Amino acid sequence: MKYNNKKPLAALLTLALMFLFVFPMGNPAQAAPADINLEVKSAIMVEAKTGRVLYKMNEDEALPPASMTKMMTELLVLEAVKSGKITWEDPVKTSEYGHWMGRYGGSRVYLGLGEVRTVKELYEAMAIYSANDATVMLAEHISGTEENFAKLMNQKAADLGMVNSYYVTSTGYPASGLKQFLPNAEGDNLMTAKDSAILAREIITKYPEALEISSIPRKFFRGEDSPQKVRMDNWNFMLPSLVYGFEGVDGLKTGHTDAAKYCFTGTAERNGMRIITVVMGAQTEAKRFAETRKLMTHGFNNFKMQTVATKGQAIEGFETVDVKKGKELLASAVSEVDMAVPVRIGEEDKYKPVVVTEEVIAPIEKGQSIGKITVEYTGEDPYEFLRPVDQEQATVNLVAQEEIEEAGWIRLFFRAIKNFIGGIFDSITGMF
């Protein structure tokens, strides 16, 4: 007797397909564990627009930041250009210190004594190639001496709420290795992963043009046709065209010294969400990028931006706001702008807009702020921000949709009588 093997096989395939549809396999992209098990000393990941913390590990431990220090120099240069204190075309003449760094200072573009380069050229050498000689010349150009510039760095850190950071040099180069140029200051550069994220976010949000330079994979200093050209390969090997390329990466700064090991403050944008990651104290160059990849993959696979309030639309439950002394007693209220926040995928319904109203007294102009919209999260994960000020600023205005004129005294008088009589009846009713 012969058996037909095709029927059992078909039945088995049908059963398998039913299993897949009824019990679908989990999406591996959304299955990353909360504990990423990073092999670094400290780390943090934040969403750039709001400053919400998405992951952290030893984020407040002050460690040597190596060349990530240069992010503070970048910020101060960008501020000086914006304020008009300096320009991109300013000529900068190389000092003895700059020339010494050009001979002995680690990553460098070999600035000659007295060589003149523009602020823009020096900034590119610093941001792309982490050139120490270019960096100290920018510091001297702004403040006269690196020592004075370090004071600016520390003041800026304090202004930004970077409470666990301390700067001695503009470069992150170990102060003890500067020999005759040893700064007149105690200790050495220190920064936490959290402070590094604060600094990176300040650069990205205030000066997004900085990413246009930090994303350049390579460029020639002095020009490709110069016999003294220096090929500046970007140390950020996670730029999409480089060896550890990761989609969306366009910054920001690597660092390495014997004390710091390998560090990296990275940033990437995908699907309308930008994240900032910091890893400090990785054992190898490859490891700092591998651990950053873990962070970024976890961030993009587990979080997304979600609009919780739409420009010109009312918030459910807060469609109107009480108005005092107005011809009308209620003002229609809408969101002034779109409000998008990072949410955990799978928990989209746990983020709700809520309104904190202000005392509203007529007259009211159309578009006038009459409250604040914030977000309520009902899930179990902590909803943390980099700084208290970031949490305070994670709001948008609720605005009046139309003009409301102030009521005249006669209207207010009779309204007061009506309210008085109504109050009496309410009291009497309450007695029975």
Task: Name the active-site residue from 130, 143, 196, 215.
Answer: 130
Report percent pLDDT > 70 for the chain. Answer: 86
**Distance between CA 2 and CA 84 in Å, rounded?**
92
Work out whether the CA dihedral 299, 304, 305, 308 comes out positive or negative: negative
Catalytic annotation present for 311: no
Report percent pLDDT > 90 for the chain. Answer: 76
Work out whether the CA dihedral 232, 238, 239, 240 comes out positive or negative: positive
Domains, the chain, ordered by start: 36-304 (3.40.710.10), 310-400 (2.60.410.10)
Task: Name the active-site residue from 42, 67, 107, 143.
Answer: 67
Task: Name the active-site residue from 49, 70, 156, 219.
Answer: 70
Q: How many CB atoms lie within 10 A of CB 346?
A: 11
- pLDDT of the residue at 404: 83
- pLDDT of the residue at 13: 32
pLDDT band at 237 (very low <50, low <70, confident <90, very high): very high
Q: Is residue 266 packed enough to be buried (19+ CB in 10 Å), middle (13-18) or exposed (0-12)?
A: buried
pLDDT band at 327 (very low <50, low <70, confident <90, very high): confident
Average pLDDT over residues 346-357: 93
Greater model confidence, 5 or 392: 392
Token pair 């009902």: residue: 378
- Does position 373 have pLDDT exceeding 50, yes or no? yes
- pLDDT of the residue at 407: 58
**Distance between CA 301 and CA 305 in Å, rounded?**
12
Catalytic annotation present for 324: no
What is this structure's pTM?
0.86
Q: Is residue 140 packed enough to be buried (19+ CB in 10 Å), middle (13-18) or exposed (0-12)?
A: buried
Per-residue model confidence as pLDDT tens digits over 59-113: 999 999 999 999 999 999 999 999 999 999 999 999 999 999 999 999 999 999 9
Catalytic annotation present for 70: yes
- pLDDT of the residue at 22: 29
Mean pLDDT of the chain: 88
